[in-house]
Amino acid sequence: MNTQTTSAQTTPTATQHAASLDDYIATGTARALALNNRGPVRYSHDGQLHPEILEAYWAHGFYVFEGLIDADEVSSLRRDAEHLMDHAPVSQHADVDHAGRPAIKYDFKRPTFSYVKPLSDPWGGTPLLSGRHPTQMVQPTVETDAPEAVLFLINGMCQVMPSGLRVYGHPDILSIAASVNGEDFTPYNDVLFVKPAGLGGSVAWHQDGVTHWDSPDWDPGIHGFNFQVQLYECTPRNALWVMPGTHQQGRIDIKALVAANQGSEQLPGAVPLICQPGDVTIVNRQALHCSFANTSPNLRVSLTFGFHRRASVLGAQGALSQASRETYDAQRIFERSRIIALAIDARAQHYPQQRRFDYAPFRGLEDEFRFNAETEQTILRDYNLQDLSI
C-alpha cells in the first residue's frame, strides 16, 4: 500500500497524490464489490424494506440502492444543481460568478454557499464540528492555475432546488427511512457536497454522531444515518470511503488508527461507495468514513440528507454546528419535520401518478401542509435553521 505523510517537506502534487492512491484504490474496490450490500430497492409483503437489505445494512453500516432515482429526475436534479454551481459567487464574499456575471444572491439567514481552498481539508485537525475530525488529510498542491476557492457545500437543498424538495419526498427514500428508523423518524439536515474535478476538498476520517456515545441506551443505530443521492458517477477517486462494520464499535480513537498506520490516511479495510448517477447510498452516522482530495477528472455532487429515530432526538441537546445547546422537545421536532410533509405534497403535485408516502407523524394533517406560495414562506423558508443535530 502506498502511503503519504502530511509534513510540509513531503506535500505531494496533485499528480503524485493520485498515483499514491493506485494500490489502495485497487484493493478497496475489489473489497467493495465483494460485499453483499448493493442492488435495487426491494420490499417484503408488509411494505418494509426487504430483510436481506436490512441485514446487509446493519452488518456493514451502509448500502447502495442502485438506480433508485430515474434518469428524468436525475436530469432535473442536475439542472438545478448546475444552475447553482454555474451562478454561485466565485468566492465567499464575491458579487460575481466565475464568468463575471452578477452572482446568485439569497437573503436566507444561513449562507447558501461555502468554499475551500482547492484540494484542502477544512475540518481535519480542527475543533470545528465538535472536533470530530481529529486528523488532517493530505492536502496536495495544485499544479495548474486554479481559483483561490472552490465550492464545497451548498446548504438548504429544499429551498434552493425545486427538484431537491421533491426528491426529499421520494416515496422509496422515505420508506427506507421508516424501515430503518421507525415510522415516526425525524429529519437531521441536508446539504450538497460538491467535489469539483481536480480541485475538490477532502473530508477527514470521522464518525458523524456526537451526543449519544455514552448513553446507557447506545446501540449501532442511535445516531441515525445519511442518504446521498448521486448526480454523477462516483469513482473510487472522488467517492466517499467507509470502514465496514465500524458503526458497531462505539466511539473510535481515530488518531490512534492513523498513528498505527504510520500516519497515513489510507486506513486499511476501507471501501469506496462506487455509484452511477441515480444511485442512492445510505450510511450509518456512526460508521467511520472520509473522502480524499479530488485529484481526479470527475466531478462529484452528492445530495446529502439524514434522518434520526425520534427517540434519539426527543430530549437530546443540539450539537455539531448549532449555536445554542437547546433541548429538542416534541414541538421542536414537529416544526422541523414539517418539511417532510411539505416535500411529500410538492412531489405529489409534480408526479401525480406516483405512490405518495404516508408519513405517520402527519397522518390526517395533509391539508394543513400543502405546498403553495404561503407554505413556501411560512414553512420552507429558512427551514434549515431548525436542523436536528445529535
Q: What is the pLDDT of residues 260-275, one digit of tens each?
A: 999 999 999 999 999 9
| Distance (Å) of CA 65 to CA 37, 70, 172, 203 | 9, 12, 10, 23
Predicted confidence at residue 372, as pLDDT, reads: 98
Residue 301, amino acid:
V
Q: Average pLDDT, stretch 100-125?
A: 95
C-alpha grid cell for residue 93?
Answer: 464574499
Q: Report yes or no on 49 lying in a domain.
A: yes
Q: Average pLDDT, stretch 109-127?
A: 95
Predicted confidence at residue 319, as pLDDT, reads: 82
Q: How confident is the model at residue 2 (pLDDT cuts 50, 70, 90)?
A: very low
What is the Cα–Cα distance from 358 to 341, expressed in whole angstroms?
9
Q: How confident is the model at residue 321 (pLDDT cuts 50, 70, 90)?
A: low
Residue 262, amino acid:
Q
pTM above 0.85, yes or no: yes
Whole-number average pLDDT of the chain: 94
CATH number at residue 126: 2.60.120.620
Q: Report yes or no on 384 lying in a domain.
A: no
What is the Cα–Cα distance from 51 to 382, expressed in whole angstroms?
37
Q: How confident is the model at residue 325 (pLDDT cuts 50, 70, 90)?
A: confident
Predicted confidence at residue 324, as pLDDT, reads: 64
Q: Average pLDDT, stretch 50-71?
A: 98
Q: Report yes or no on 13 lying in a domain.
A: yes
What is the Cα–Cα distance from 373 to 349, expressed in whole angstroms?
14
- How does pLDDT run across 203-254, given as a tens digit for each residue? 999 999 999 999 999 999 999 999 999 999 999 999 999 999 999 999 999 9
Q: Report yes or no on 43 lying in a domain.
A: yes
Q: How confident is the model at residue 162 (pLDDT cuts 50, 70, 90)?
A: very high
Q: Average pLDDT, stretch 349-353?
A: 98
**Domain range holding 23?**
8-309
How open is the CA angle 196-201-205, to the nearest 5 degrees? 135
Q: Average pLDDT, stretch 17-23?
A: 96
Which residues lie below 8 Å from residue 159, measured CB to CB, with a gap of 6+?
108, 165, 380, 381, 382, 383, 384
Predicted confidence at residue 99, as pLDDT, reads: 94
What is the Cα–Cα distance from 227 to 192, expressed in whole angstroms?
11
Angle between helix axes 330-350 and 171-181 (nearest 10 degrees) is: 150
Q: Taking 90 as the threshold, does the pLDDT of residue 163 lie above it?
A: yes
Q: Report yes or no on 344 lying in a domain.
A: no
Q: Report yes or no on 337 lying in a domain.
A: no
Q: Average pLDDT, stretch 368-387?
A: 97
Q: How confident is the model at residue 323 (pLDDT cuts 50, 70, 90)?
A: low
Predicted confidence at residue 4, as pLDDT, reads: 43
Q: Taking 90 as the threshold, does the pLDDT of residue 320 lie above it?
A: no
Specify the long-range contacts of residues 71-75, CB closer than 8 Å, at least 24 apart: 71/277, 71/278, 73/163, 73/166, 73/167, 73/278, 74/231, 74/277, 74/278
Q: How confident is the model at residue 110 (pLDDT cuts 50, 70, 90)?
A: very high
Please give the tally of structural domains in the chain: 1
Give 96's strand partners: 102
The closest of 320, 277, 300 to 129, measured between CA atoms, is 320
Task: Determine what percent of the chain is predicted with pLDDT higher than 90.
Answer: 91
Predicted confidence at residue 318, as pLDDT, reads: 85
Q: Taking 70 as the threshold, does the pLDDT of residue 9 lie above it?
A: no
Q: Taking 60 as the threshold, does the pLDDT of residue 94 lie above it?
A: yes
What is the Cα–Cα distance from 196 to 118, expressed in whole angstroms?
9
Which residues lie below 8 Å from residue 385, measured CB to CB, with a gap of 6+?
109, 110
Predicted confidence at residue 129, as pLDDT, reads: 84
Q: Average pLDDT, stretch 284-295?
A: 98
Q: Report yes or no on 60 lying in a domain.
A: yes
What is the Cα–Cα distance from 210 to 65, expressed in whole angstroms?
27
Angle between helix axes 171-181 and 51-60 (nearest 10 degrees) is: 70
Report helix, strand or coil for 339.
Answer: helix
Predicted confidence at residue 42, as pLDDT, reads: 98
Q: Report yes or no on 116 lying in a domain.
A: yes
Report helix, strand or coil for 18.
Answer: helix
Q: How confident is the model at residue 10 (pLDDT cuts 50, 70, 90)?
A: confident
Q: Average pLDDT, stretch 23-30?
A: 98
| Distance (Å) of CA 121 to CA 155, 165, 204, 320, 358 | 19, 29, 7, 18, 40
Q: Taking 70 as the threshold, does the pLDDT of residue 348 lie above it?
A: yes
What is the Cα–Cα distance from 191 to 389, expressed in whole angstroms?
13
